[in-house]
Amino acid sequence: MNNKPTIDFLTHLPITRALLNDKERVFLAVLKGEVKTRSEATKRLSIRSTTISDYVAELLEARLLTEEPSEHVGRGRPSLTLGVNANRVVTIVFQVISQSVHTFMVNLAAQIIAHEHVEASPDSDNAALEAIFLNLYNSIVMKLPAGAELAGTVFSLGGVFDRTTHRWIHTSRWPRMHNLDIRHIFPDKEHSVTLSRTLDNELLIHLLQQNESTLLLHWGYGVGFAFGQSGDNIVEGGYAFGEIGHWHIPGQNGLCHCGQKGCLETVSALWSIGRAVLDDDFQAGDDEEHIATMLESRALSDNPAVRQAVEQMTTAASNVCRVFFPKKLVVSGPFVKNAGIWHAFCDGFEQQNNFFGQTIPVLSVSQVNRDLGVYGAAIPVLEQGLAKLLL
Of 245 and 333, the one with the shorter C-beta distance to Zn ion is 245
Query: Which range of residues in 45-53, 239-247, 333-341, 343-351 is near Zn ion by CB under 5 A?
Result: 239-247
Query: Least distance (Å) from Zn ion to the CB of residue 15?
Result: 34
244 binds Zn ion (CB under 5 A): no
CB 320 within 8 A of CB 352: no
256 binds Zn ion (CB under 5 A): yes
Give the whole-angstrom CA distance, residue 314 versus residue 350.
9
Residue from 194, 159, 162, 196 nearest 175 by CA? 159
Query: Least distance (Å) from Zn ion to the CB of residue 263?
Result: 3
Residue from 243, 236, 157, 249 nearest 196 by CA? 157
Query: Least distance (Å) from Zn ion to the CB of residue 211?
Result: 34
Query: Least distance (Å) from Zn ion to the CB of residue 178?
Result: 16
Query: Which range of residues in 7-15, 255-263, 290-298, 354-362 is near Zn ion by CB under 5 A?
Result: 255-263
Give the whole-angstrom CA distance, residue 110 versus residue 113.
9
* Beta pairing class for 193-197 and 149-157: parallel
Close Cβ partners of 312 (under 8 Å, ≥ 6 residues apart): 249, 264, 267, 268
Query: For residue 103, is it left (φ>0), alpha (ψ between -120 and 50) or beta?
Result: beta
Query: Can you say whether the dihedral through the CA atoms of 364, 288, 268, 157 is positive or negative?
Result: negative
Interface residue with Zn ion among 263, 278, 309, 331 (CB under 5 A) is 263
Q: What is the total count of residues that contact Zn ion (CB under 5 A)? A: 5
DSSP assignment string, 250-273: TT--PBPTTS-BSBTHHHHSHHHH
160 binds Zn ion (CB under 5 A): no
Of 246 and 337, the one with the shorter C-beta distance to Zn ion is 246
Query: Least distance (Å) from Zn ion to the CB of residue 246?
Result: 4
Q: How far is CA 109 from the centre of its chain?
A: 16
Interface residue with Zn ion among 37, 98, 111, 260 (CB under 5 A) is 260
Query: Least distance (Å) from Zn ion to the CB of residue 197?
Result: 18
173 binds Zn ion (CB under 5 A): no
Give the whole-angstrom CA distance, residue 373 versus residue 379.
10
Query: Which range of residues in 66-74, 176-184, 260-268, 332-340 is near Zn ion by CB under 5 A?
Result: 260-268
**Bond before 326 cis per omega within 30 degrees:** no
Query: Which range of residues in 6-14, 106-114, 191-199, 258-266 is near Zn ion by CB under 5 A?
Result: 258-266
Give the whole-angstrom CA distance, residue 320 versus residue 333.
17
Query: Least distance (Å) from Zn ion to the CB of residue 221?
Result: 13
Of 177 and 263, the one with the shorter C-beta distance to Zn ion is 263
Query: Least distance (Å) from Zn ion to the CB of residue 260?
Result: 5
230 binds Zn ion (CB under 5 A): no
246 binds Zn ion (CB under 5 A): yes
Query: Least distance (Å) from Zn ion to the CB of residue 278?
Result: 22
Query: Which range of residues in 6-14, 157-165, 263-271, 281-289 is near Zn ion by CB under 5 A?
Result: 263-271
258 binds Zn ion (CB under 5 A): yes
Give the other-Cβ count within 10 Å of 364's Cβ. Answer: 16
Close Cβ partners of 302 (under 8 Å, ≥ 6 residues apart): none
Give me Rg for the CA atoms of the chain.
23
Of 169 and 258, the one with the shorter C-beta distance to Zn ion is 258
Which residue ranges make up the site for Zn ion (CB under 5 A)?
A: 246, 256, 258, 260, 263
